Amino acid sequence: MTTPKGADPRRPLLPLAGGGHDHRSTGAGESCCAPTAGRPEVEPSAATFPAGERSTRGQVRIPGATFWMGDSHGDGYAADGEGPVHQVRVSPYLIDTKAVTNAQFATFVKATGHVTEAERDGVSAVFHLAVRAAPADVLQRAAGVPWWLAVRGADWRHPAGPLSDITDLQNHPVVHVSWRDAQAYCRWAGKRLPTEAEWEHAARGGLDRARYPWGDELTHHGRWRCNIWQGDFPRHNTLEDGHLTTAPATAFHPNGYGLHNTVGNVWEWCQDAFRPTEYADRAGAEPVPDPVAAEPGDTPDGLVSRVMRGGSYLCHDSYCNRYRVAARSSNTAESSSGNIGFRCANDA
Ligand SMILES: [Ca+2]
Ligand SMILES: [Ca+2]
Ligand SMILES: [Cu+2]
């Protein structure tokens, strides 16, 4: 039996649950999105390294604009709070054209010695068809979402479990990173996470109220434009888009602002706290300037659910159509799984 470094085999595992909020109660289909780790309260990794100098490497400048934020097609799940569609004003900002890759994350870890929450916990969630682990390291199925397995030794270096590695995945998005791990990376990189409004505006690529970053049609002459699920979820993936799990961060054509894979591939952490009522509360006659939802006295304490955007390689219309540009989801700040990553932003 392999016991990965950092894993305490005696430590009782708290259950994984299906997502930061319960979609099932809405009858909106089971959440394929991402399981929530029932991690014990741990000391947030105090940043022991100095903040990096501001960097705009790999980022594109997005001009300030007013745009319609939210679902204007009636596609969303009510419980997610994708509506009402409302006008938002964003100041100019910068955003990465792609998700942070394994190669980039490795550079960060080498420079700082950062240990991710999944590594400290010794376990993270892997999609059942992807698992590369000895049977003894497959610990449990997530409650309500049995296609998620808690795998001992799954972490960013071993995205499918201890018998996997990232040798051939250098340009794939890093996964098994929590919101707090993403914060640590941003601090080192001289960047920050995008706000939810910045993320959506950038993902829209200059299109007004479209369903996807490229328009309203999911496929183009039968060709897939993003990495989601084809076939029967969660058992049989026909791989029409070429990828069961992650695709390279620059796979598929970029949107009008040069951003790759905003929808599909991996969920992307945003700065904001998640509130289903956020849009309803702030929508009004005037465009909302630079909104960001945060709890009062907010600290990275793991109790606040954080926004994730864009959906992942597991999204499929039959279960979870959150590969739309307006779709929202969330997870707790300490959660990690094989389909959650992030990209960085910056003030202009
Ligand atoms: Ca796929
Ligand atoms: Ca994405
Ligand atoms: Cu999904």
Nearest ligand atom owner, CA of 340:
2
H-helix segments, the chain: 102-112, 117-121, 179-189, 196-204, 278-282
What distance in angstroms lies between residue 310's CA and the mean position of ligand 2's atoms? 5
Residue 216 burial (C-beta neighbours within 10 Å; 0-12, 13-18, 19+): exposed
User: Above 90 in pLDDT, residue 263?
Assistant: yes
Residues 217-244, mean pLDDT to the nearest whole number:
97
User: Above 70 in pLDDT, residue 21?
Assistant: no
Question: Domain coordinates of the chain in residue numbers?
Answer: 30-37+54-114+168-347
Distance CA 190, CA 54 (A): 4
What distance in angstroms lies between residue 135's CA and the mean position of ligand 2's atoms? 30
22 or 250, higher pLDDT: 250
**CB proximity list for 253: less than 8 A, separation 6 or greater:** 214, 225
What distance in angstroms lies between residue 266's CA and the mean position of ligand 2's atoms? 4
pLDDT at 33 (0 to 100): 79
**What Å distances lie between residue 217 and 130, 238, 324, CA to CA?**
29, 20, 11
**CB proximity list for 309: less than 8 A, separation 6 or greater:** 196, 199, 200, 203, 262, 267, 268, 270, 327, 328, 329
pLDDT at 46 (0 to 100): 58
On whether the CB atoms of residues 124 and 155 are closer than 8 A, the answer is: yes
What distance in angstroms lies between residue 264's CA and the mean position of ligand 2's atoms? 5
What distance in angstroms lies between residue 312's CA and the mean position of ligand 1's atoms? 9
Mean pLDDT of the chain: 89
Nearest ligand atom owner, CA of 226:
1
Nearest ligand atom owner, CA of 32:
3
Nearest ligand atom owner, CA of 19:
3
Nearest ligand atom owner, CA of 249:
2
pLDDT at 15 (0 to 100): 53
Q: Which of 298, 278, 207, 249 is CA-nearest to residue 100?
A: 249
Q: How confident is the model at residue 86 (pLDDT cuts 50, 70, 90)?
A: very high
- May I ask the CATH architecture of the domain 30-37+54-114+168-347? Alpha-Beta Complex (3.90)
Name the 3-class secondary structure at 108: helix
User: Above 80 in pLDDT, residue 4?
Assistant: no
Q: How confident is the model at residue 1 (pLDDT cuts 50, 70, 90)?
A: very low
Q: pLDDT digits over 153-208, tens only?
A: 999 999 999 999 999 999 999 999 999 999 999 999 999 999 999 999 999 999 99
What distance in angstroms lies between residue 239's CA and the mean position of ligand 1's atoms? 6
Distance CA 270, CA 182 (A): 9
Nearest ligand atom owner, CA of 263:
2
Distance CA 344, CA 32 (A): 25
Q: pLDDT digits over 93-113, tens only?
A: 999 999 999 999 999 999 999
pLDDT at 304 (0 to 100): 78
What distance in angstroms lies between residue 339's CA and the mean position of ligand 2's atoms? 9
Q: How confident is the model at residue 315 (pLDDT cuts 50, 70, 90)?
A: very high
For helices 102-112 and 179-189, give the axis angle rounded to 10 degrees: 70
Share of the chain above pLDDT 90, in %: 78
User: Above 60 in pLDDT, residue 2?
Assistant: no
Q: pLDDT digits over 24-62, tens only?
A: 333 333 456 788 877 765 555 556 788 999 999 999 999
